[in-house]
Structure 1
Amino acid sequence: MASPSTSTSSTTITRKRFKTQSEEALKPSFSDLPSSLLEVIMSRLVLKDNIIASASCKSWCEAAISVRVVEKHPWLLSFSKRSSLFELHDPVQSKSYTLNPPELAESTVRYSSHSWLLMHASTTKDLFFFNPFTRELISLPKSTLPFQAIAFSSPPTSDNCVVVALNFMLRHHYVTISTCHPGATEWITEAFPAALLYYMKSKLVYLNDRFYCFTFGGDSLYSFHPSSRTWVCHEDVYHYHQLQGGWERREAFLAEKKGELFLVFTCGKEKPVVFKQGYLRWEKMSSTEPDGFTIFFSSYHSQMRTNLPWMRNNLCSLRFGNKRMRCLSYSFDKSRYNPHKGSLSWLELVPRPKCLWIDPPDNVLDYLG
């Protein structure tokens, strides 16, 4: 049997140890912060401060290094119905800004990419490029043909920029494809047979010198090569009828990343489905396969990014709520939409017109009011 002094000493040591552990719990270290939170903090530091912070401890070093070379996320751009102001919103830092562009004569956006908007004047029917940050305008030749889809390959200031416009003649089972480039005086137009082309659902996507689009009805992937002027219907297609829900509730989006093509299906409130174009056919991606990518889709253009802090394995769309533009996202990790509300209707999941994702320039704050 232990002596009283020994028992008292043991109890005192236990109490001291318990007190020390309690005190440590009440004074957590900054090194104990979750890695996802550390990455967000580090991503907001300039390079010099990032390097200084990385010397603090191992966890800070790992977080700082992981975000030093990350892709820039796109911003939300919306067009006000009541004024000529553009609203810009940074979804990561949750900050909004306004741009006051020159009068564009009731023009509508038809496509967006590389910080540029491809716009269509409602009165004159002119097509032109517009940069909402630099306010630069670049005109395109006049065209008498209507078009259902249009896209461009690269910024209009580059030497290899080409614009492609499609016009589907469903009754005659062919499509007219018009091409031009900034500085040209006219469009070059040709007709191609398209017997299986019924309903084009995705916007055009430029990848490896070709423009791609996906259609319902024929469930087909088409592509056009502007240099050789060849129009191809690909056989490696996926039949979307595996998705549940009504015909009118399905949306399809194409996006490209590192030479690969991705096809996204959304259908009401159901879980979005993502396919990656394999060697022979579309391959359905499981919830564990996104590997950190984020797809930003809108009615004008869809983009992909990789390893954005706090936005990994997400699909991000746009919607309006309480008269404000908001970002609606689907998390593959949590298998739900965010913000999560049982009252969400399928119409709220369809990308809203007059709002899009745009790539801000490096000095974006210099242009904002």
Structure 2
Amino acid sequence: MEVTQEKSEKQTWRDLPLELLISLMAYLEIEDNVRASYVCKSWYEAAVSVRIIDQPPWLMYFPKPRNCYEFYNPSNCKKHTMELPKSLVGSKVRYSKDGWLLMSNCISSDFVLFNPFTMDLVDLPYLELWYGYQLVGFSCAPTSSNCVVFTIKDYDPGHVTIRTWSPGETTWTSMQIDSQFLDVKHNYLVFSNGMFYCLNLRNHLAVFDPSLRTFNVLDVPPPICPDDVDEESWYEGKFMVGYKGDIFVICSFGNQDPLVFKLDLTRGVWEKKGNLGSLTIFASINSCESRTYVQDGMSRNSIYFPKLCYNETRCVRYLFDEGRYHPREHNINWGKQRSSKNIWIEAPKNFELV
């Protein structure tokens, strides 16, 4: 008994069973994972076993003529062109998630979910499109029964109409709410924590819960416009993204350094962040993606924008570690480039560009 007690007293963290070490390492961000791997051989083995490299999203864009689309893989700079189905020629992308696109024809009320990798199409029920919907999106791929397509529009002053659809339904479910939340343009949407987060031009935040069918404007003061940024630029270059339940807003102003804010619901504030840590954000108007373990050659603690440079061999990106854009002079004017031509999309793991 004395020998057993002496051994237990001499045990350290490095003596933890490998299974338990692996469970602990799975919760670490990449920087802490790397630090932990230096402790000892067993910690290295556990850290490396869960250090799974995430495939970055691909950039998808529509060259002229718009009867085709192209993919660009930022990790190896490969490109691939595919032909757009005839029924979608002239349609615009409204939202992207889980490798699917929500698209609508510019002159009709037809919404469709389209997988540009498998060419699968899901037609949605007819929906009257009175001057377009200011905000549309969906929760997950339509192959899941949990998919919810969300649309919101203000038909008359002081009211918004929300319509939702899920796989298997033949009509849209509608509800009207007293609200003046939406703007004519510049509204943003992210699905996270089982809810749709909506951001308007004035940077006010609202949440729609599809399970309870409630829409609430949160009591969270908007981020304050810096003194050295003009108001028009402050409203134009916005991007919103979710990551493991957290909500981030990125504000960009031409060649000036972007600002990043993280939502703190407990305190009811937008917390300004000096960097992204181990996170990498891929930002575009209708789709934003986030990754932690990006491939070698990709920049962590960075924001990748949907713009190709240097003869289309690299994306415009901002490197927080270096405090600069690459390239430094990127000539992006978000006020004039708010189209859906360039978006980030999650590619299937086994899909290869040839």
* TM-score, length basis structure 2: 0.78
- Which whole-Å CA distance do the structure 2 matches of 1:322 and 1:92 have between them? 15
- Which whole-Å CA distance do the structure 1 matches of 2:181 and 2:68 have between them? 42
The Cα shift of 1:196 comes to 4.9
Choose the corresponding residue for 1:287, options 274, 278, 284. Answer: 274
Q: Which residue of 2 aligns with 1:3?
A: none
The Cα shift of 1:130 comes to 0.8
The Cα shift of 1:346 comes to 3.8
Contact 2:139 2:149 (C-alpha < 8 Å) held by counterparts? yes
Are 2:143 and 1:157 aligned? Answer: yes
Choose the corresponding residue for 2:341, options 354, 357, 362. Answer: 354
Deviations 1:241-270 (A, max 9, x none): 236322322322211111111121112322
The Cα shift of 1:239 comes to 3.4
Code of the residue aligned with 2:341 in structure 1: it is K
Contact 2:225 2:231 (C-alpha < 8 Å) held by counterparts? no
Contact 2:254 2:331 (C-alpha < 8 Å) held by counterparts? no
| SS at 1:165 equivalent | strand
Q: Which residue of 1 aligns with 2:173?
A: 188
Contact 2:134 2:182 (C-alpha < 8 Å) held by counterparts? no
The Cα shift of 1:273 comes to 1.0
The Cα shift of 1:293 comes to 0.5
* Bigger Rg, structure 1 or 2: 1
Choose the corresponding residue for 1:215, options 200, 204, 215. Answer: 200
Contact 1:173 1:197 (C-alpha < 8 Å) held by counterparts? no
Are 2:288 and 1:302 aligned? Answer: yes
Contact 1:75 1:358 (C-alpha < 8 Å) held by counterparts? yes
What percent identity do the matched residue pairs reach?
33
| SS at 1:364 equivalent | coil
- Which whole-Å CA distance do the structure 1 matches of 2:97 and 2:239 have between them? 15
Q: Which residue of 2 aligns with 1:99?
A: 82
Contact 1:79 1:85 (C-alpha < 8 Å) held by counterparts? yes
Choose the corresponding residue for 1:315, options 258, 282, 303. Answer: 303
Q: Which residue of 1 aligns with 2:58?
A: 75
- Which whole-Å CA distance do the structure 2 matches of 1:299 and 1:198 have between them? 16
- Which whole-Å CA distance do the structure 2 matches of 1:190 and 1:160 have between them? 20
Contact 1:203 1:254 (C-alpha < 8 Å) held by counterparts? yes
Code of the residue aligned with 1:207 in structure 2: it is S
Q: Which residue of 2 aligns with 1:338?
A: 326
- Which whole-Å CA distance do the structure 2 matches of 1:216 and 1:243 have between them? 18
Code of the residue aligned with 2:60 in structure 1: it is L
Q: Which residue of 1 aligns with 2:73?
A: 90
Looking at both structures, which has the greater relative contact order when contacts are Cα pairs under 8 Å and sequence separation is at least 6? 2
Contact 2:192 2:245 (C-alpha < 8 Å) held by counterparts? yes
Structure 1 range deviating more: 208-217 or 151-160: 208-217
- Which whole-Å CA distance do the structure 2 matches of 1:259 and 1:298 have between them? 19
Contact 1:261 1:276 (C-alpha < 8 Å) held by counterparts? yes
Closer, same or farther: CA 121–314 of 1 in aligned 2, 3 Å: same
Choose the corresponding residue for 2:93, options 87, 91, 109. Answer: 109
- Which whole-Å CA distance do the structure 2 matches of 1:112 and 1:243 have between them? 34
Gaps of 5+ in 2: 1-29, 31-40
- Which structure: greater helix fraction? 1
The Cα shift of 1:81 comes to 1.7
Are 2:162 and 1:177 aligned? Answer: yes
Deviations 1:130-167 (A, max 9, x none): 11111111110010143111000010010110000011
Code of the residue aligned with 1:118 in structure 2: it is L
Q: Which residue of 2 aligns with 1:26?
A: none
Gaps of 5+ in 1: 1-38, 40-57
| SS at 2:344 equivalent | strand
Contact 2:223 2:270 (C-alpha < 8 Å) held by counterparts? no
Code of the residue aligned with 2:67 in structure 1: it is S
